[in-house]
Amino acid sequence: MSTIESILNEARVFPPSDAFASKANIPSFQAYEALCAEAEQDYQKFWANRAREQIVWHKPFTQVLNDQKAPFFEWFGDGELNVSYNCLDRHLEKQGDKIAIIFESDDGEVIRTTYHDLHQRVCQLANALKSQNIRKGDRVVIYMPMRTEAVIAMQACARIGAIHSVVFGGFSAKSLHERIHDAGAVAVITADEQIRGGKRNPLKAIVDEALSKTDDISVRLVVIYQRTGADIEFNPARDVWWHELTKNASSQCEPEWVSAEHPLFTLYTSGSTGKPKGVQHSSAGYLLGTKVSMQWVFDYKPTDVFWCTADVGWITGHSYVAYGPLAMGATQVIFEGIPTYPHAGRFWEIIQKHQVTTFYTAPTAIRSLIKLGADLPEQFELSSLRLLGSVGEPINPEAWIWFYEKVGRSRCPIVDTWWQTETGSHTIAPMPGAVALKPGSCTFPLPGISAAVIDETGQDVENGKGGFLVIKKPFPSQVRTLWSDPERFRTTYFPDEICHGKYYLAGDSAYRDKEGYFWIMGRVDDVLNVSGHRLGTMEIESALVAHPLVAEAAVVGKPHEVKGESVIAFVVLKGQYPHGKEIEQIAHTLREWVAKEIGPIAKPDEVRFGENLPKTRSGKIMRRLLRTLAKGEEITQDISTLENPAILEQLKYPTK
Ligand code: WTA
């Protein structure tokens, strides 16, 4: 409970300035409360009104919420629309020449694309995919560098009603294979290579390896975007170059009108078992969530230059790169590289160069930039900025204050946005013209989001006490199901215990202070948050035990200054307990193995060996003891149920 105490000690409050509030979309706390009251009175009507205002419908809906098959909720079910139409076509008449994307490559090349051009390129790819018999409902895996083309690929799928599933370019062939297989994808869109921070990553070769696993007969097309011109293996039966496929394709493509509930995409995320979950989103509800949050939380203005630094491989890059900003008709920056290449001022340089007004990034990036150059922002002209945002993990007050003072020059509010792959868009976050900020708190729920903190019996806890974070009523942008696993969807998010099958269980613990502000304390399941990325401990454990040397493994998180959490693996080998040089060699082998099995982000920082793991007499691994050991703290917990106390001494020290 020390977390709660430190929260209680955080007394600083930052009310919106008059200058900001007077121009804000939601200009006062009363205006925020009025929206909440409207939603409170009749939440279905509230969302129906928003859906009519925000979305261009091909066929208007007459039904709002269908909860007959709860928790498999449906919103606006008999309406028809096309998400790509809502992101592109609707802007053409009034602002076809507006810049949609300012793309900056790893080495600093800048390419600007107008809405008109983006529309044409999306239509061309959509037609090209159709010419290859990709149809509505087909699954297309996208494994692309962070470039305009990644967004084009996603929008082209949306245009023809194909369901995309983007896999982050840092995932291994094995992870890619698992996702292609689970989705039953018929096509993969990729690039020859990716370049980040000057380093090349052979995406096409990884796709080839993923497809060489025997059971992927479903993939019949691989579209390759030529990024570097590197040599690749070309399989004429399956492979086709993006530029050749689109060369003669028409730049007009009638959108496929789909039902509001047609799946727009699935995105795999880690859960508490070894198998990643294919989070499935709808078309209309998802689009609506991204749009209202752009206006409420990002206070979107047509003159903004919006920059969300997330890769499209994560939900943040879906909602606030590929969909939300385009749905608003915004100008946005897309950056291919990393914050520290070729120098640690790259982010600040990009803000200065492109006159960014809204800058949205992750605490882990902020912390690493503080470490590499706390004074660097001062060397850049950042006066274009008016709003900052944070996402992915709790932001520690020190990082918040630095971000506020050094980057925002004490002028720009910071929106700390709590949400998840499953919620599709912001759920608890401040409206910056309305809410006084407290560093480290994501403040209050968005209107229409009935967030609450409950105990294990399902009762609301009083302010000041920690508990499970839930959302009590359905809302349009929430996850619809898990691809090919509806039962897991129900038991994970609407469990009978705690939620009585009725509330959405977020998987985080949270706390509200005496003024009702929400503070997120971290995951309550076996999910780690490493540099803002979700990793399942079970996933890493399964990877480790798949190595021929390993008999047993347990993985826990340890607080880390920059990454938030780091991965610590406790391993029992099949052979002898290792000695001397062997320790470092095997640890190295296992770290590389995990990188290959899952991806470099999952690599354990430390591997510790033992002859056994701490277990109860019934054989259950006592993870809380491992977490204490990982932190290097003394064990003060009750260990009377521990079968083998002697093992603790062995696991105490990092094997360096
Ligand atoms: C954590 C990312 C505290 C949380 C959009 C959640 C946060 C998980 C915040 C979802 C925040 C995200 N403050 N914690 N502002 N934002 N989290 O699915 O544990 O990659 O459950 O979605 O990240 O991660 P995901």
Name 308's bridge partners: 360
Tell whether 618 is covered by a domain: yes
Q: List Cβ neighbours of 484 (8 Å cut-off, separation of 6 or more).
A: 182, 184, 278
Tell whether 82 is covered by a domain: yes
Amino acid symbol at 472 = K
What dihedral angle (degrees, nearest 10) is formed by the CA atoms of 367, 368, 372, 376? -60
Tell whether 656 is covered by a domain: no
CA distances for 104 relative to 113, 143, 252, 298, angstroms:
11, 19, 27, 22
User: How long, in residues, is the chain?
Assistant: 656
Q: Taking residues 344-352, what's their average pLDDT?
A: 98
The CB density around residue 247, as the number of other CB atoms within 10 Å, is: 10
Q: Measured between alpha carbons, how far is 150 from 153 in angstroms, rounded to an integer?
A: 5
- Please classify residue 33 by burial: count the beta carbons closer than 10 Å to its beta carbon, then call 0-12 exposed, 13-18 middle and 19+ buried: middle
Residue 647 shares a structural domain with residue 540? yes
CA distances for 310 relative to 321, 545, 608, angstroms:
8, 32, 33
In ligand 1, the atom with minimum distance to the C-alpha of 395 is 13
Q: Specify the CATH number for the domain of residue 563.
A: 3.30.300.30
Listed residue (482, 497, 473, 388) closest to 437, CA to CA: 388
Residue 101 shares a structural domain with residue 191? yes
Q: Measured between alpha carbons, how far is 100 from 329 in angstroms, rounded to an integer?
A: 7
CA distances for 652 relative to 606, 609, 631, angstroms:
12, 10, 9
What are residue 90's phi and psi, to 5 degrees?
Answer: -65, -20
Q: Is the CB of 394 under 6 A from ligand 1?
A: yes
Tell whether 243 is covered by a domain: yes
| Secondary structure (H, E, C), 501-566 | CCCEEEEEEEEECCCCCEEEEEECCCEEEECCEEEEHHHHHHHHHCCCCEEEEEEEEEEECCCEEE
The per-type count for the chain, helices as H runs and strands as E runs, is 22, 30
Q: What local confidence, expressed as pLDDT, does residue 6 receive?
A: 67
Q: Is the CB of 419 under 6 A from ligand 1?
A: yes
Residue 239 shares a structural domain with residue 111? yes
pLDDT tens-digit readout, 14-63: 999 999 999 999 999 999 999 999 999 999 999 999 999 999 999 999 99
Q: Is the CB of 534 under 6 A from ligand 1?
A: yes
* CA 160 to chain centroid: 24
Which of 505, 520, 525 has most ligand 1 atoms within 8 Å of its beta carbon, as the pocket-test mutant?
520
Q: Measured between alpha carbons, how far is 165 from 140 in angstroms, rounded to an integer?
A: 6
To the nearest whole number, what is the mean pLDDT of the chain?
A: 95
Name 451's bridge partners: 471
Q: Is the CB of 311 under 6 A from ligand 1?
A: no
Q: Indicate the pLDDT class of residue 8, thresholds 50, 70 and 90.
A: low
Residue 438 shares a structural domain with residue 562? no
Of 431, 449, 467, at which residue does a domain stop? 449
CA distances for 166 relative to 47, 91, 156, 160, 269, angstroms:
28, 25, 13, 16, 11
CA distances for 154 relative to 85, 145, 158, 441, 603, angstroms:
13, 13, 6, 33, 29
Residue nearest to atom 24 of ligand 1 (CA): 420
Q: Which residue has the tokens 């949400």?
A: 419
Tell whether 298 is covered by a domain: no
Enter the pTM of the model: 0.94
* 315 Cα–ligand 1 center, Å: 10
- DSSP code, position 629: H
* 565 Cα–ligand 1 center, Å: 13
Residue 535 shares a structural domain with residue 410? no
Tell whether 476 is covered by a domain: no
β-strands 187-191, 481-482 pairing: unpaired
* 507 Cα–ligand 1 center, Å: 10
- The residue range of the domain holding 95 is 12-289+337-349+363-449
Q: Is the CB of 482 under 6 A from ligand 1?
A: no
Q: Is residue 361 a contact partner of residue 309, using CB atoms and an 8 Å limit?
A: yes
Q: Measured between alpha carbons, how far is 83 from 89 in angstroms, rounded to an integer?
A: 10
Give the SS3 label for residue 481.
strand
Task: Give 391 or 575, the one with higher predicted confidence.
Answer: 391
Q: Measured between alpha carbons, how far is 7 from 5 in angstroms, rounded to an integer?
A: 5
Tell whether 81 is covered by a domain: yes
User: How many structural domains compose the chain?
Assistant: 2
Task: Give 366 or 618, the one with higher predicted confidence.
Answer: 366
Tell whether 241 is covered by a domain: yes
pLDDT tens-digit readout, 584-606: 999 999 999 999 999 999 999 99
* 144 Cα–ligand 1 center, Å: 23
Report the first-to-last Cα separation within the chain, whole angstroms.
Answer: 32
Record the tokens describing residue 410, joined without a space: 């004490």
Q: Is the CB of 557 under 6 A from ligand 1?
A: no
**Quick check: 634 pLDDT over 60?**
yes
pLDDT tens-digit readout, 113-165: 999 999 999 999 999 999 999 999 999 999 999 999 999 999 999 999 999 99
Residue positions forming the annotated binding site: 196-199, 316, 392-394, 416-421, 508, 523, 531, 534, 545, 547, 550
Q: Measured between alpha carbons, how far is 474 from 577 in angstroms, rounded to an integer?
A: 52
Of 426, 449, 472, at which residue does a domain stop? 449
Q: What local confidence, expressed as pLDDT, does residue 1 receive?
A: 46
Q: What local confidence, expressed as pLDDT, does residue 5 receive?
A: 67
Of 427, 449, 471, at which residue does a domain stop? 449
- DSSP code, position 377: G
What are residue 470's phi and psi, to 5 degrees?
Answer: -135, 165
What dihedral angle (degrees, nearest 10) is formed by the CA atoms of 126, 127, 128, 133? 90
Give the SS3 label for residue 317.
helix
Record the tokens describing residue 427, joined without a space: 């759920």
Q: Taking residues 478-504, what's their average pLDDT?
A: 96
β-strands 387-391, 358-361 pairing: parallel
Q: What percent of the chain has pLDDT over 70?
A: 98
Q: Is the CB of 529 under 6 A from ligand 1?
A: yes
Name 467's bridge partners: 510
What dihedral angle (degrees, nearest 10) is formed by the CA atoms of 249, 254, 255, 256? -100
Q: What local confidence, expressed as pLDDT, does residue 217 receive?
A: 76
Residue 189 shares a structural domain with residue 50? yes
pLDDT tens-digit readout, 447-460: 999 999 999 999 99
- DSSP state letters, 165-190: EE--TTS-HHHHHHHHHHHT-SEEEE
**Quick check: 261 pLDDT over 90?**
yes
Q: Specify the CATH number for the domain of residue 206.
A: 3.40.50.12780
Q: What local confidence, expressed as pLDDT, does residue 441 receive?
A: 96
Q: Taking residues 394-419, what's their average pLDDT?
A: 96
Q: Is residue 218 a contact partner of residue 185, using CB atoms and an 8 Å limit?
A: yes
* CA 413 to chain centroid: 22
CA distances for 266 relative to 309, 538, 543, angstroms:
21, 21, 23
Q: Is the CB of 393 under 6 A from ligand 1?
A: yes
- DSSP code, position 320: I
Q: Is residue 124 a contact partner of residue 251, using CB atoms and an 8 Å limit?
A: yes
Which of 419, 477, 537 has most ligand 1 atoms within 8 Å of its beta carbon, as the pocket-test mutant?
419
**Quick check: 3 pLDDT over 90?**
no
**Quick check: 2 pLDDT over 60?**
no
CA distances for 564 relative to 357, 530, 561, angstroms:
27, 6, 6
Which of 529, 530, 537, 563 has most ligand 1 atoms within 8 Å of its beta carbon, as the pocket-test mutant?
529
* 142 Cα–ligand 1 center, Å: 23
Residue nearest to atom 14 of ligand 1 (CA): 393
Q: Is the CB of 315 under 6 A from ligand 1?
A: yes
